[in-house]
Structure 1
Amino acid sequence: MAKWTPTHEAPEPLEGPIVPTIIGGTILWFVLFLAQLPFYGWFDDHGHLWWLWTCLAGSGLGLIGIWYVRGRDAALKRMAAEAAAQGPAAAAE
């Protein structure tokens, strides 16, 4: 099993506009739900009703994701502000 253990360090995580990305994805899931809603009968007749509920579940999970990433973003900004307030001596430790 030792041959499968990675010998290099993991790369730094990519940071970007996470909050707008999650908001955009949530809006997209909800728009897809609304677009499929008029075809409820067709989906039900053909056994594809799960498509509709998948879009609604994506919207709900997206709302949880928005709450989570906004809190994470606020915590990162608080940590950066505290580090800047303590000065360069704290950053060297």
Structure 2
Amino acid sequence: MEPLDVDGVRTVQVGTGLFLLGFLGLIPFWAPLEEAGRTWLLWMCLTGVGLGLLGMEYCKRRRRFRAERDADEV
């Protein structure tokens, strides 16, 4: 049985979206987070969004490369 041919774009999109929702959901709680010394949670979510955008571009390029490679084999 052949493994599924998953390029990872959808997975990275979902993860990036969840980080964005986390960031947007924490913005109203900026003051309590700052008082507790937990503003790093906001920056972690924002970093997740940034890395997710980079990962999305990587996965899209990988998908294009694989499609071109498969077209050349035919």
- Structure-2 residue corresponding to 1:69: 59
In structure 2, the CA distance between the partners of 1:72 and 1:17, relative to structure 1 (3 Å rule), is closer
Q: Equivalents in 1 of 2:65, 2:7: separation in Å?
A: 15
Runs of at least 5 residues in structure 2 that lack an aligned partner in the other structure: none
Query: Structure 2: how far apart are the matches of 1:76 and 1:17?
Result: 9
Return structure 1 stretches of 4+ with deviation > 4 angstroms.
none
* Residue from 4, 10, 24 that aligns with 1:20: 10
- Deviation, 1:16, is 2.0
- Aligned-residue sequence identity (percent) comes to 36
Contact 2:7 2:62 (C-alpha < 8 Å) held by counterparts: no
Query: Larger RCO: Structure 1 or Structure 2 (Cα < 8 Å, ≥ 6 residues apart)?
Result: 2
TM-score by length of 1: 0.73
Partner-residue secondary structure (3-state), 2:42: helix
TM-score by length of 2: 0.91
Query: Judging changes above 3 Å, is the alpha-carbon distance between structure 1 residues 60 and 68 closer, same or farther for their aligned structure 2 residues?
Result: same
Structure number, greater radius of gyration: 1
Root-mean-square deviation (CA), in Å? 1.5
Residue 6 of structure 1 corresponds to which residue in structure 2?
none
Counterpart position of 1:79: 69
Write out aligned runs for 1:1-40 (5 A).
Answer: 15-40=5-30
Q: Report how many aligned residue pairs link the two structures.
A: 72
CA distance in 1, matches of 2:72, 2:5: 20
